Chain A
Amino acid sequence: MKAAIANAPQSKSSKKFLYARLHSLAGILPLGLFMAEHFYTNSMAMFGAEKYNEQIALLQSLPFLIGIEIVFIAIPLLFHAIYGLYLSFISNHNTASYKYTRNLTFFFQRISGVIIFVFVIYHVWSFRLSTAMTGTEVNYHLVSEHLQNPIIFAFYVAGIIATAYHLCNGLSTALITWGITIGKTSQKIALQVSMILFALMSALGVATLFSFI
């Protein structure tokens, strides 16, 4: 018996596996769902200022809003962003030598992540933190005013496309991380579907931006 105990697998103290899985989970469940909601809600601007303001007011009237924002958005977002940033810097990119589709999507996943990191800090500051501090009402007018500046508008186009890409490509790799798409063909089809989703999501996001000007 003693020998069996000595030979039993020793659990290593590594937390890396746990962090990697939490990183994937955070990206899909709270953040992916939030992104779907966020893109949808904002697209209401295409139906006019009144419809948009109605939606914003509805969301802001949710009970426990601060709690929901902290638990389901802020914490997963901070963890996903910081751990993801660490991940993006430990890879040695080699797309110059190996121009395979997956290697390119892998590279863009990290590039888009860094773009989103900068974009989200700016975006959250503009429409959540600074407005909360000054007590400014967030509505169609405020967003519209903001987007009149062509540089900010371009930054938003980049941020939205990067976010759509990061989420959709991330979905296809999450299917591998969670052991769902195992074979070559299913992984390929998952990537194709995710790229269609990326195109649709980008189109919706950019169309929303144009409806503010």
Chain B
Amino acid sequence: MIETKEKVLRFKIKRQNDLDAPSYWEEFHVPYRPNMNVISALMEIQRNPVNVNGEAVRAVVWDYNCLEEVCGACSMRINGKVRQACSALVDKLEQPITLEPMSTFPVEKDLVVNRERMFEDLKKIKGWIPIDGTYALDAGPNISSSEQQEAYKYSTCMTCGCCLEACPNVNSKSPFIGPQAMGQTKYFNMHPTGALKKEERMEVVIGDEGIANCGNSQNCVQVCPKEIPLTTALAELNQSANKYALTSWFRK
């Protein structure tokens, strides 16, 4: 990649003052320090919010939390591609570094987006293991270690939204709930106790917002920071959705 010899980093940031306000681009110069990531550069802008024209402006706001790519808060488009700002090292980025908010989600301010739709989708697919009841449900069946290994990959989903942002079929023209919810459907269905709600999840999968909207562009699996095998989940869900749709039709 490009060696950073310059003492100054150039940033081009897409900003927005409010929820429905128009967006605009603003450029900043940030003094370079070794091993900087996009978050530490944004912190530098926060400390000294002066743009390239020397004007003091409102500090750029963004979301972040864990700084180690496990919380999913700092997703944004960096040089056009969606990823986590915390794991984006400036030494590996071409300059000027452009930062944009994810466009699939409502932009609240600058780089801050509202990711609530994903949490709503998790409710739709009943993204939990039902263990509450009026009596103790026991320990539940054992899970083999190979199944645990497989489930673990899906359990690392941090609802960051990268897959929805990169999916060409998740947009305002399509009701698709997206790869994240589909991956989690597979995850909860493969759990022996979670499978108690399998049919309810399959109804969502074969519904209007479900898997029929997937066009196999497979961007989801490419951009997933956790390397979750989302396309495998989608193919498996295709298979079980076909079986489910057919058998439930014959049961009518």
Cβ–Cβ contact A100 & B80, under 8 A:
no
Residue B111 at the chain A interface, CB threshold 8 Å: no
- Give bound CA distance, A181 to B238, whole Å: 11
CB contact between B219 and one of A10, A103, A182 (< 8 Å): that residue: A103
CB contact between A96 and one of B80, B169, B171, B223 (< 8 Å): that residue: B80
Residue B210 at the chain A interface, CB threshold 8 Å: yes
Chain A residues with Cβ below 8 Å from B212 are 16-17, 19-21
CB contact between A178 and one of B218, B219, B223, B238 (< 8 Å): that residue: B238
CB of B81 to closest CB in A, whole Å? 6
- Give bound CA distance, A107 to B219, whole Å: 12
Chain B residues with Cβ below 8 Å from A94 are 166, 168, 219
Cβ–Cβ contact A17 & B215, under 8 A:
no
- Give bound CA distance, A20 to B208, whole Å: 11
Cβ–Cβ contact B248 & A184, under 8 A:
no
Cβ–Cβ contact B81 & A98, under 8 A:
yes
Query: How many chain A residues touch the partner (CB < 8 A)?
Result: 37
Convert B202-223 into 0s and 1s, putting 1 for each residue whose CB lies closer than 8 angstroms to a CB of A: 1100111011110111110111
23-74 of chain B: CB within 8 A of chain A: none
- Give bound CA distance, A91 to B219, whole Å: 13
Q: Which one of B8-16, B85-93, B138-146, B228-236 is at the A interface? A: B228-236
Cβ–Cβ contact B232 & A17, under 8 A:
no
CB of A115 to closest CB in B, whole Å? 18
Residue B112 at the chain A interface, CB threshold 8 Å: no
CB of B176 to closest CB in A, whole Å? 9
CB contact between B242 and one of A21, A87, A92, A97 (< 8 Å): that residue: A21
Cβ–Cβ contact B235 & A12, under 8 A:
no
172-220 of chain B: CB within 8 A of chain A: 173-174, 199-200, 202-203, 206-208, 210-213, 215-219
Chain A residues with Cβ below 8 Å from B211 are 17
Interface centre among B168, B207, B211 (most CB of A within 10 A): B168
Cβ–Cβ contact B223 & A98, under 8 A:
yes
Convert B149-182 into 0s and 1s, putting 1 for each residue whose CB lies closer than 8 angstroms to a CB of A: 0000000000000000010110101100000000
Cβ–Cβ contact B215 & A87, under 8 A:
yes
Chain B residues with Cβ below 8 Å from A19 are 212
Residue B247 at the chain A interface, CB threshold 8 Å: no
Residue A39 at the chain B interface, CB threshold 8 Å: no
Q: Which residue of A lies closest to B243 (CB)?
A: A179
Cβ–Cβ contact A11 & B203, under 8 A:
yes
Residue A4 at the chain B interface, CB threshold 8 Å: no
- Give bound CA distance, A98 to B238, whole Å: 24
Residue A117 at the chain B interface, CB threshold 8 Å: no
- Give bound CA distance, A176 to B166, whole Å: 19
Query: Which residues of A are interface residues toward B (Cβ below 8 A)?
Result: 9-12, 14, 16-21, 87, 89-94, 96-98, 100, 102-103, 106-107, 173, 176-184, 187
Interface CB pairs A-B, < 8 A, 18: A10-B203, A14-B207, A14-B210, A18-B245, A19-B212, A20-B212, A91-B169, A91-B217, A92-B171, A97-B80, A98-B219, A100-B218, A176-B235, A177-B238, A178-B238, A178-B242, A179-B236, A187-B231
